[in-house]
Amino acid sequence: MKPTIPALFALSLAAGVAMAETPAFMTSMDVDKDGFLTLAELEEYRSQVFKTFDTNGDGVLDSAEYTEFDKARAAAAEQTGAPLQLRAVHGLARERTDLNLDGRVTREEFREALTQWFNTHDKTKDGVLGHGDF
């Protein structure tokens, strides 16, 4: 099953990189509606993204599945032209998420890459992301 167009658009947002440009997106992921995103909130959203592209349900994004993920991020970035979304095209490249370099991205690697991204962008080191963190 191929991801739908709304799922493709959501992908670049799933990276969490469009928050400063897309307040509605930040609001939709902000489960407790406090104006900030926690790692737990982002992990939940990213797990849904992973599930969308793990079409065979084996807990791993193989080369073909990751290629579809790459295409979806690129299409979403092209559609909006938002600078942070454009950065997501490269920021979520396989070499950044395939942490053991075996050519496959496990659910755990996907989560760990998000944790690293979150920690890098949490400029205030307060455990939440807000507009000031970008």
pLDDT band, residue 12 (cuts 50/70/90):
very low
What is the mean predicted confidence (pLDDT) over 68-81?
86
pLDDT band, residue 133 (cuts 50/70/90):
confident
> What is the b/e burial string over 24-41, where b = at least 16 CB atoms within 10 angstroms of the residue's CB?
ebbeebbeeeeebbbbeb
What is the predicted pLDDT for the residue at 63? Answer: 95
Lowest mean pLDDT segment, chosen from 6-10, 25-29, 83-87: 6-10
Look up residue 60 and give its two tokens. Answer: 């791993």
C-alpha–C-alpha distance, residues 94 and 29, integer Å: 24
Partner residues linked to 38 by β-bridges: 128
| 33 dihedral zone (left: phi>0; alpha: psi -120 to 50; beta) | left
C-alpha–C-alpha distance, residues 108 and 72, integer Å: 21
> What does the radius of gyration of the chain's CA atoms come to, in whole angstroms?
14
Three-state DSSP at 117 gives helix
In this structure, how many other beta carbons lie within 10 angstroms of the beta carbon of residue 44?
12
Residues 98-114: tens digit of each pLDDT? 999 999 999 999 999 98
Lowest mean pLDDT segment, chosen from 49-58, 71-80, 95-104: 71-80
Look up residue 84 and give its two tokens. Answer: 């942070």
Decide if 55 contacts 1 (C-beta within 8 A). Answer: yes
Residues 83-98: tens digit of each pLDDT? 666 777 787 889 899 9
Whole-prediction pTM: 0.73
What is the predicted pLDDT for the residue at 80? Answer: 76
Has residue 58 got a pLDDT over 90? yes
What is the predicted pLDDT for the residue at 67? Answer: 95
Decide if 44 contacts 132 (C-beta within 8 A). Answer: no
